[in-house]
Amino acid sequence: MSSTPTTSTTARGEPWVWLTSLGLIVGLVMVAGLLSLVVSEGLRVFWPETVAVTELKEGRAIIGPMVQRRIRPGSPASAPVYERQYQVGMREVNGQAYQWFDESRVVKESFPAEVMGLERMENGPAFVRPVRLTNSAGKVYQATEAAFATELQNEVSRAAGIREKIASLTKNEIGDLNSQMEKSRIDLRRAEDQHLPVEPIKARLEQLNQAYAGLHDQAENLQKQAGLAKLEVLDAAKNAHVIPLFQIVRAWSPNQLSFGERLGIFFSRIGEFITAEPREANTEGGVMPAIFGTLAMTVFMSLLVTPFGVIAAVYLREYAQQGFLLRFVRICVNNLAGVPSIVFGVFGLGFFVYVLGGTIDQLFFADQLKYNNHSPVFGTGGLVWCSLTLALMTLPVVIVATEEALGSVPRGMREASLATGASKWQTIRYVILPAAAPGILTGVILAMARGAGEVAPLMLVGVVKLAPTLPIDATAPFLHLDRKFMHLGFHEYDLGFQSPDSDAARPMVFATTLLLIILVVCLNIGAIYIRNRLRARYKSASF
Amino acid sequence: MDSSDKKPLQPLDESRFQVSPWTLRVDTWMGRLISFGGISVVLAVLGMLVFLVWQVVPLFTGAKVTSQPELRLPAAVVAFGEDEYGALPFIGLADGTIKFLQSSDGAVTETWTPELAGRHVSAVRAYSRQGLVLLGLDDGSVQFAKITYRVEFTSQGDRHLSPQVKLEKPLTVGKLTSPVRDAWVAQSANGSLVVLQQELNGHPVLTATRLLERKGLGGRVTVIPGTPSVVAEGVTDIAEVLVPSTADTVLVRRRSHEVLVYNYNENTEAFALTQTFKPFANTAQPEISSAGLIFGNVSAVFANRQGAQEVWSLYPQKQPDGRSLRRWGLIHEGETLPGVPQGIFPAEGNKCYLVVAGDRLQIRNMTTGSLRWEGPAPKGVQQVIFSRNYERFTALTSEGKLVRWKLEDRYPEASWSTFFGKIWYEGATEPAYTWQSSSGSDEFEAKYSLVPLFYGTVKGTFYALIFALPIALLSAIYVSQFLRPEYRNIVKPVMEIMASLPSVVLGFLAGLWLAPLVDTHLISIFCVILILAPLGLLVGAIWAGLPQPWRRQVKPGLEFVWFLPILAIFVTLAWQLGPWVESLLFTVKEGQTGTAIVDFREWWRQVSTLGYDARNCLVVGFAMGFAVIPLIFTIAEDALSNVPQSLVSGSLALGASRWQTVWKVVLPTALSGIISAVMIGFGRAIGETMIVVMATGNTAIMEANPFSGMRTLSANIAVELPEAPAGQTHYRTLFLGACCLFILTFVINTLAEILRQRVRDRYKVI
């Protein structure tokens, strides 16, 4: 800065101020851009778009919505070749559900009203021209008939009902039987080994087998019942296909829908996404088990972390002798929040899973280990280890938040309580903790938000891409701490990066991302809200 | 209370001041409980590091060797071997008799004599690993005796071994019919090789013959000898023959201390001399006293009379004619041995070897040169074999004893230099820092250098900070010093939400959305980034030059609202400018067709001769920057806005402009707080896992190229730990990586914390 006098009325260094404002803008734009990208891409997944029939140069036609347009990778920047990705569906015919075509090959695009979208149990969605429908009573409806559409929807919902029945049959009853059979098999091996009578166990196994066969038949009958209704369609190449209605989850005519109908499908798809089980290697259906697993793990983690965190904080703030050592301990605990999450995962695997879990198995499940091919019970990843690992990871968050909350309880309140003759514990219990509760809650919510979004350590201690059972169900002991489970964050990682058909998985990844962000952002906003109210309260309550 | 005339005062009700014992007891007990709980939580948290270190320590321990009872042998032994469990060693006598000994007391349990129809055994060699005894006969033929053990478990669970010896058909493999003096066999996946040493006119003659296996009807395998080929013809001073198990090479050591390499030529079906090398050629004492092949058989250790060691290995070397051929070359010079080397014997399953030197036994690792164990040697060690699982070794002595040791060395490849040193691995062309933890092959040597991972970590962190620092610090300055307070209450929670975005989301968007975008629009992105700073200054300068009434329109603290539309226009322009700039600066000729194309990626490949990956450092830096910005912002903003108001007011009152105040007063005061913020951001970026896993190619390479991927410590753990078997070297090495991460971040954070405390103290003083 020169010292020569100036006549300008402008303050010195104003350009730099503008430069700093740029930093803020970039930061805000980044957040807004990311959130809007995730929201728009995530919601687009559920929106029933119009479906084009596209004719290509070589006489080939495709039916399916255009998904994206891009410069072909590797094409020189001087002469970029654009290509379009279409969701052509019908994996059994097209091989891949999403295909890229050079834009130059597209001759004509039209949106005929008769095109129909079908979501199916297998081979992904299909975009077809319907020909005729045979309903479960055997009556035939041509696609041109007026009653076709209503009858189709009736049959679809009927098929859904049957599928549900079969699902509940296989999941609850057959699942139950399976676990009993597994137990009996272990019993049998034990009996054989220890020369105990095996006859009663064998008899029981036989009985279970028969029950299993009965249920199996029942399920098959149900399926047969449903198999009667079918839909005959033409694909893009005008080849005829017969699709059993049992396979159809949803049928809609994308080019005829009114806005309201589109909205209806949109919400019904969101509902399915949240409440249904995944299908087809997680690329279709819902993410209910992952939501459930994430919630179960997070709740269990917060149940673990809250008491320990609060006790540690109360000790550090109220009981421990303040001094150099305490300051050191405090810094250490603080810094633990900065230790990478993967390190906690490594510790969880080494200590919780192998040392603790291994010991539990040795002590309580030695029998099961011996007679069940040495498959570990607690000596492998599971819900309890995930929760413990994340609890350890988020412990500093809770300790720091609680200490802060304890510290900001006005001194007057503490002194008033002691002056009225309350003991130290009574003061803590009846005055300080209630006053600090919102602060502690903020810490716990922040810990939950961090835990819900964390993936790296969970990959090591018990998250899987597809868990056959939920960690909480109707079989005793109801809460299965040893089970592996699904998690939204891992689901996203697995779908996005381990999936064989990453294009087909893409919509689901975006939807999962949206869900995960909503979950985490809601938790955070909750924490921020509570904290702001807390500040207001202390302001007014100060002595 | 002496005033008896007045109404006596009520005596104080003592009980009113008494605390109920229950309350006191609860108070004490809760105090103890909380102290206990608090201390144990703190200890548990600190115990984490202890546990991690405890898992890593075994890596740095040497081998543990305990000697077992010696076995006295019943006869003069020329060869010996063992079963898998070391329960039933066998010995081969000079006449081809094989005896099995009980390992507990040395009693002979079984004796087998070959039926040779009048011929006599003239050479015996045992291959313990394959359970093979090679008998050389006096008519120039060889015969294999195959030893198999049948394992039975008794009802008590004890193991009972019963050996079986099967003599195979005699094979005539040599040209001569004179007695076989020595014989070797090598078996590999693509064939077997038998080498014989016979005598002709008082000179040794080596014959090497490949054995071809024909599968006949019913899966019966018949062995047919191929064309015999004389090796080292005319070489009369053969000192030692080494036959690597690759079955295509014969190494002949001459008494002149030269080593001749003969390789099998597929076309001529004969062995031809391909290389001659001389270990210790540059030393005063080129006399080789011992030599031995190492497990895997592409490396050999030589030791001279002085105890100096050299490791020669087969690796691709550039020939004068420009071709690259696999030739033997010196890769290590080992430590000097404690005495005259008497024998070098390879371990099984890893690159260790046992060397007998003077009166000491040493187990050393060939790759790292580290000494695993040293102990006294029994007298007259002739031969040493290791068990297949590398848990035992046995020596045959000239005194007719089998001396046995139990060996516990679970991490033979681990050493300080393995993890942090530059190591010349066998088969590699030069020493390098390499991370390569697994492969399908059995003889594969895992490479555990953590250096490339550290390099990747630092590289990723560097790019993240380059991107994050300007944005975070500029916005922290603006928000804390210039922005209107009512907007601050919006901006800060937004930044907190940004901080809470799960890293898996950022990683996914970086890998699947950003990477393709950067790939096709790199130059446009560069253009946008480059115009940002000049644009900020330029707009500020133009605004400052406007007449005052115009300037008044922009309220202080609201600059960013006016800036937004200007920025949008210029960013769009810069984006559109991208292709034009690219065609101007980055036009290259395509390699094959020679047509000029405009492509930065191709340009980069040709100009820098480095690679270009779609998932590169820029993408990772951008995504990690996202994770780091809010962290740095929050702490820096805190430090800046807590600068005592008196300082700011004083500066402004003296006539400094608001920027001068910030630059000369606020920033210097808050400097250590800002440094602490940067350090904490650094710590976070170091440990970031999912973003790196998803947005890079995860290749452990060390190059400074900004357009290539990398593998970081944390990503490496996430990718490999689920597959690493518990307790083994790989597993513990990953723990070592975790330990390093822990310590690194802990130290950085502690320093940052101390800095922050100092800032706080300083503000208090002011």
SS3 B209: strand
Whether residue B231 lies inside any domain: the answer is no
Kind plus residue range of the DSSP H or E element containing A522 = helix A502-541
User: Is B740 at the interface with chain A, CB within 8 A?
Assistant: no
Q: Is A250:A263 a contact under the CB 8 Å cutoff?
A: no
Question: Looking at the predicted structure, is the pLDDT value of residue B390 above 60?
Answer: yes
What average pLDDT does this structure show over B103-127?
86
Tell me how close the Cα of A21 comes to any Cα of chain B, in angstroms.
5
Percentage of chain A exceeding pLDDT 70: 94
Give the HSE-up count for residue B624: Cα atoms under 13 Å, Cβ half-sphere.
35
The per-residue pLDDT for B629 is 92
pLDDT level of residue B218 (50, 70, 90 thresholds): low
CA–CA separation, B84 and B87 (whole Å): 8
* Chain A residue numbers touching B597 (CB-CB < 8 A): 76-79
Listed by number, the residues of chain B in 527-546 with a beta carbon closer than 8 Å to a beta carbon of chain A are: 532-533, 535-541, 543-545
The residues, ordered by sequence, that sit 6+ positions from B506 with a Cβ below 8 Å of its Cβ are B623, B624, B626, B627, B690, B691
**The CATH number fitting domain A288-541, selected from 1.10.10.10, 3.40.1190.20, 1.10.287.130, 1.10.3720.10:** 1.10.3720.10
Burial of A543 (0-12, 13-18, 19+ CB in 10 A): exposed
Q: Which residue in the set B512, B533, B559 is minimally distant from A496, CB to CB?
A: B512
Say how far apart CA A528 and CA B323 lie, in whole Å: 68
Highest mean pLDDT pick, A373-387, A416-430, B190-204: A416-430
The predicted model gives B272-292 an average pLDDT of 84
Task: Please tell me the distance from the alpha carbon of residue B618 to that of residue B624, in angstroms, as a whole number.
Answer: 10
- What's the confidence (pLDDT) of residue A388? 92
- pLDDT (tens digit per residue) in A489-539: 998 888 888 877 777 888 888 999 999 999 888 888 888 888 788 777 665
User: B51 falls in which pLDDT band (50, 70, 90)?
Assistant: very high
In chain B, pLDDT over 70 holds for what percent of residues? Answer: 97
Q: How confident is the model at residue A2 (pLDDT cuts 50, 70, 90)?
A: very low
How far apart, in whole angstroms, are the C-alpha atoms of residue B487 and residue B476? 13
Which has the closest alpha carbon to B44: A351, A142, A295, A420? A351
Hey, CA dihedral for B672, B675, B677, B680, is it positive or negative?
negative
| Lowest mean pLDDT across B89-98, B263-272, B355-364, B591-600 | B591-600
Partners of A82 in the beta sheet? Answer: A71
How far off is chain B from A452, nearest CA to CA, in Å?
Answer: 8
Residue B456 belongs to domain with CATH number: 1.10.3720.10
**Mean pLDDT rounded to a whole number for chain A:** 84
Beta bridge partners of A106: A56
Q: How many angstroms away from the CA of A210 is the closest CA of chain B?
A: 36
The alpha carbon of B441 is separated from its chain's Cα centroid by a whole number of angstroms, namely 17
pLDDT, position A267: 92
CB B159 within 8 A of CB B219: no
- Is the pLDDT at B642 greater than 80, yes or no? yes
The alpha carbons of chain A give a radius of gyration, in whole angstroms, of 31
Contact between B329 and B345 under an 8 Å Cβ cutoff? The reply is no
B654: DSSP letter: T
Q: Return the pLDDT at A387.
A: 92
Nearest CA in chain A to B716: A342
Q: What is the distance in angstroms between the Cα of A298 and the nearest Cα belonging to chain B?
A: 14
Q: What is the mean pLDDT of residues A450-459?
A: 88
Q: How many Å apart are CA A375 and CA B164, to the nearest integer?
A: 36
Please determine, for residue A130, whether its predicted confidence score (pLDDT) is greater than 50. yes
pLDDT value at B736 more than 90 = yes
Query: Which residues of chain B make contact with A388, given a CB cutoff of 8 A?
Result: none
Write out pLDDT tens, residues B223-275: 778 888 888 877 888 888 888 888 888 899 888 888 899 988 888 888 888 88
**C-beta separation of A78 from B583 below 8 A:** yes
Which one has a higher pLDDT value, A171 or A16? A16
A404 touches chain B (CB under 8 A): no
Q: Which residue has the tokens 């090789």?
A: B193
A489/B contact by beta carbon, under 8 A: yes
B753 and A331 within 8 Å at the Cβ level: the answer is yes
What is the reported pTM?
Answer: 0.89
Task: Report the percent of chain A where pLDDT is more than 90.
Answer: 13
pLDDT of residue B465: 93
**Residues B540/A19, Cβ–Cβ less than 8 Å:** yes
Q: Name the B residues in 656-685 with CB < 8 Å from any A CB.
A: 656-660, 663, 680, 683-684
Structure token digits, residue B470: 């300007």
Determine the pLDDT at residue A470: 78
Residue B378 resides in a domain: no
- Among residues B27, B153, B159, the alpha carbon closest in space to that of B84 is found at B159
Q: Please choose, from the candidates A292, A267, A288, the residue with its C-alpha nearest in 3D space to the C-alpha of residue A278.
A: A288
Nearest residue in chain B measured CA to CA from A445: B500
CA B219 to chain centre: 43
pLDDT tier at A9, thresholds 50, 70, 90: low
Q: Cα–Cα distance between A117 and B32 in angstroms, integer? A: 68
| Residue A36 in this model has a pLDDT that exceeds 90 | yes
d(Cα B342, Cα A478) in Å, to the nearest integer?
68
Q: Is B50 on the interface with A (CB under 8 A)?
A: no
Distance CA A460, CA B590 (A): 46
H or E, element range at B523: helix B515-545
Tell me what pLDDT residue B461 has. 92
Rounded Cα gap, residues A250 and A248, in angstroms:
6
Tell which of B143, B172, B201 closes a domain: B172
Nearest to B687 by CA among A345, A355, A13: A345
| Residue at a domain's end among B172, B187, B211 | B172
Q: Is A78–B597 a contact, with Cβ atoms under 8 angstroms apart?
A: yes
Residue listed under structure tokens 């919630």: A295
Asked, for residue B130, whether it belongs to a domain, the answer is yes
pLDDT for the residue numbered A266 = 92
Strands A98-102 and B341-346, how do they pair?
A: unpaired
Angle made by CA atoms B271, B274, B275, in degrees to the nearest 5: 135
CB contact set of B563 (below 8 Å; sequence gap of 6+): A18, A21, A22, A25, B536, B539
pLDDT-derived band at B7, boundaries 50, 70, 90 = low
Judge whether residue B1 has pLDDT over 50.
no
The shortest C-alpha distance from B387 to chain A (Å) reads 27
CA–CA separation, B482 and A7 (whole Å): 24
Q: What one-letter code names the amino acid at B202?
A: G
Lowest mean pLDDT among B417-431, B435-449, B638-652: B435-449
Name the most confidently modeled range: A93-107, B693-707, B736-750: B736-750
Those residues whose C-beta lies under 8 Å from the C-beta of residue A391, and which sit 6 or more positions away, are A301, A302, A304, A305, A308, A451
CB < 8 Å from B in window 263-322 of A: 308-309, 311-316, 318-320
pLDDT tier at A152 (50, 70, 90 boundaries)? confident
B189: Cβ–Cβ under 8 A, 6 or more apart, which residues? none
Instruction: Report yes or no on B624 lying in a domain.
Output: yes
d(CA B674, CA B685): 17
| Across B171-190, average pLDDT | 82
Which residue segment(s) compose the domain that B660 sits in? 451-519+613-761
Across the interface, whether the CB atoms of A17 and B540 are under 8 A apart is answered yes
Q: What are phi and psi of B353, to 5 degrees?
A: -145, 155
Helix (H) or strand (E) holding B587: strand B587-589
How many Cβ atoms sit within 10 Å of the Cβ of residue B732? 24
Q: Which residues contact A501 (CB under 8 A, 6 or more apart)?
A: A96, A97, A98, A283
| Average pLDDT for A409-436 | 88
Chain B, 540-579: which have a CB under 8 Å from a chain A CB?
540-541, 543-545, 548, 551, 559-560, 563-564, 567, 579
Q: What is the pLDDT of residues A459-496, one digit of tens each?
A: 898 888 887 777 777 666 777 777 888 899 998 888 88
Closest-CA distance of chain A to residue B652, Å:
11
For residue B737, tell me if it sits in a domain. yes
Whether residues A492 and B27 touch (CB distance < 8 A) is answered with: no
A66-to-A63, A84, A204, B385 alpha-carbon distances in Å: 9, 7, 57, 68
Listed residue (B497, B464, B491, B454) closest to B476, CA to CA: B491
- B567/A22 CB distance under 8 A: yes
Contact present, A297 and A451 (Cβ < 8 Å): yes
Cα–Cα distance for residue pair B183/B123, rounded to 1 Å: 7
Count CA atoms closer than 13 A to B92's CA, side-chain side.
28
Count the domains in chain B. 2
Q: Is the pLDDT of residue A76 over 70?
A: no
Token pair 């716990």 in the structure block, residue: A444
Specify whether the CB–CB gap between B652 and B658 falls below 8 A. Answer: yes
Q: Distance between CA atoms of B42 and A392, rounded to whole angstroms? A: 11
Average pLDDT for B285-303: 86
Mutation site for A-interface testing, chosen from B16, B474, B585, B652 by largest number of A Cβ within 10 Å: B474
Answer yes or no: do A524 and B563 touch at CB < 8 A: no
Among A18, A39, A530, the strongest candidate for a mutation testing the B interface, having the largest count of B CBs within 10 A, is A18
| Dist CA B715 CA A170 (whole Å) | 39
Residue type, B119: R
Q: Cα distance from A365 to chain B (closest Cα, Å)?
A: 20
Q: Are A250 and A119 in contact (CB under 8 A)?
A: yes
Closest-CA residue of A relative to B713 is A342
Q: Could you give the 3-state DSSP secondary structure of residue B712?
A: coil
- In chain A, residues with a C-beta closer than 8 Å to the C-beta of B470 are 23
The percent of chain B in helix, strand and coil, each rounded to the nearest 5, is 40, 30, 35
Identify whether the C-beta of residue A109 lies closer than 8 Å to the C-beta of residue A53: yes
Contacts of A340 in chain B (CB under 8 A): 686-689, 714, 741-742, 745
